[in-house]
Amino acid sequence: TRMTMEVVREFKDKVYYIPWSFDYRGRCYPIPNLLTPQDTDFGKSLILFNEGAEITEKGLDWIKFQLATTHSLSKGTMEERLAWVSKPLNQDLVFRVVKDPIKWIADWENADEPWLFLACANEYVSLITGLTSITHLPVAVDATCSGLQILAGLAKDASTARMVNVLGSEKPQDAYATIASRSMEAIPERLRPYWDRKTTKRSVMVIPYNAKPYSNRSYIREAFKEKGIDVSKEELTACVSAVRAAMNVVVPGAMEVMKWIEKQITKYIKSGAEEVKWITPSGFPVTQRLMKRETTRIRTQLMGECRMTIAGAEIGVDLKHHKNATAPNLIHSLDASILHLSTVEFHDPIALIHDSVLCRATDMCKLSTLVRKSYMTLFAEHEPLTDFALAI
pLDDT tens readout for residues 167-183: 766 666 778 888 899 99
- pLDDT of the residue at 197: 86
Q: Residue type for 362, please?
A: T
Question: Is 300's pLDDT higher than 80?
Answer: no
Count of residues in the chain = 392
Distance CA 52, CA 264 (A): 50
Q: What is the DSSP string of 153-218?
A: HHHT-HHHHHHTTSS--SS---HHHHHHHHHGGGS-GGGGGG-SHHHHHHHHHHGGGT--HHHHHH
Where is pLDDT greater, at 213 or 386? 386
Q: What is the mean pLDDT of the chain?
A: 89
- pLDDT of the residue at 149: 87
* Whether the Cβ atoms of residue 107 and residue 96 lie closer than 8 Å to each other: yes
pLDDT bracket for residue 116 (50, 70, 90) = very high
Averaged over 65-78, what is the pLDDT?
A: 89
Averaged over 280-299, what is the pLDDT?
A: 86
Question: Is 250's pLDDT higher than 90?
Answer: no
The contacts found for 25-33 with CB under 8 angstroms, 24 or more apart, are: 25/286, 25/329, 25/332, 25/333, 25/336, 26/280, 26/282, 26/284, 26/286, 26/332, 26/333, 26/336, 26/337, 26/340, 27/332, 27/333, 27/335, 27/336, 27/354, 28/336, 28/339, 28/352
- pLDDT of the residue at 25: 93
Query: Tell me: the pLDDT tens digits for 101-113?
Result: 999 999 999 999 9
Averaged over 254-283, what is the pLDDT?
A: 92
pLDDT bracket for residue 297 (50, 70, 90) = confident
pLDDT bracket for residue 376 (50, 70, 90) = confident
* Whether the Cβ atoms of residue 127 and residue 135 lie closer than 8 Å to each other: yes
Q: What is the pTM of this model?
A: 0.82
- pLDDT of the residue at 159: 80
Averaged over 84-97, what is the pLDDT?
A: 95
- pLDDT of the residue at 310: 64
- pLDDT of the residue at 143: 74
- pLDDT of the residue at 112: 94
In the chain, the percentage of residues whose pLDDT exceeds 90 is: 53
Query: Tell me: the pLDDT tens digits for 301-357?
Result: 777 777 666 666 778 889 999 998 999 999 999 999 999 999 999 999 999 988 889
Buried b (16+ CB within 10 A) or exposed e, 322-338: bbbbbbbbbbbbbbbbb
Query: Tell me: the pLDDT tens digits for 131-163?
Result: 999 999 999 988 767 888 888 889 888 888 887
The 10 Å Cβ neighbour count of residue 234 is 9
Where is pLDDT greater, at 216 or 194? 194
- pLDDT of the residue at 158: 83
- pLDDT of the residue at 101: 96
